[in-house]
Amino acid sequence: MSVVIRTASFPHDAGSVSALVGDYLRRTEAEKAEHGLVDPRAAMPARYIREIDDPATVFADRRVLVAAVDGVDCGVLAVGSSGGVTEISRFWVPPGARGHGVGSALLTAALRGATRPVHLSVWEWREPALRMYRTAGFGIVPPWDERPGLVCLELR
């Protein structure tokens, strides 16, 4: 089993990116509800719906990486830059694809040539992701996003 990372090409990869980002957003909203951070009956925010419906437009200013194992897309990550900082977002590997190096391969590809510092955030209950980021050299920093439960990290 080998992990292949590619930069998404729209419109060709729109379906895969939409499915993976949608999975990420739905799971994140469910987890936030489980932790009492959102009403479980609330509709998904419109900005998230746009990411699922039109990833090519929403991510036009970012590089989107897609991971595939044996030809099946199973991971996504968006990389953007602003003000001399690289930001990683929408980093998602579905549970069934975890433990095979997909997340590490995506992170390595995202960091290759990235301007430092690199910022990302993760929910505190996503302990395996936190471990992976810490192993990659990220450290916890004061939050730039004040949402409860969100951990902000930086790689210098």
120 falls within a domain: no
**Taking each helix axis from N to C terminus, what angle separates 127-135 and 102-111, rounded to the nearest 10 degrees?**
40
127 falls within a domain: no
104 falls within a domain: yes
CA distance 14 to 152: 28
26 falls within a domain: yes
Strand ranges of the sheet holding 63-69, from the earlier edge strand across to the other edge: 3-7, 63-69, 72-82, 85-92, 118-123, 150-155, 139-140
67 falls within a domain: yes
Examine the pLDDT at 1 and tell me if it is beyond 90: no
155 falls within a domain: no
In this prediction the pTM is 0.95
CATH number assigned to the domain comprising residue 98: 3.40.630.30
25-47 tens-digit pLDDT = 999 999 999 999 999 999 999 99
Query: What total of structural domains would you count in the chain?
Result: 1
129 falls within a domain: no
Per-residue confidence band for 113, with pLDDT thresholds at 50, 70 and 90: confident
Q: Which residue range forms the structural domain that includes residue 66?
A: 3-115
Mean pLDDT of the chain: 96
145 falls within a domain: no
Per-residue confidence band for 115, with pLDDT thresholds at 50, 70 and 90: very high
Q: Which residues contact 17 (CB under 8 A, 6 or more apart)?
A: 8, 10, 55, 59, 64, 66, 76
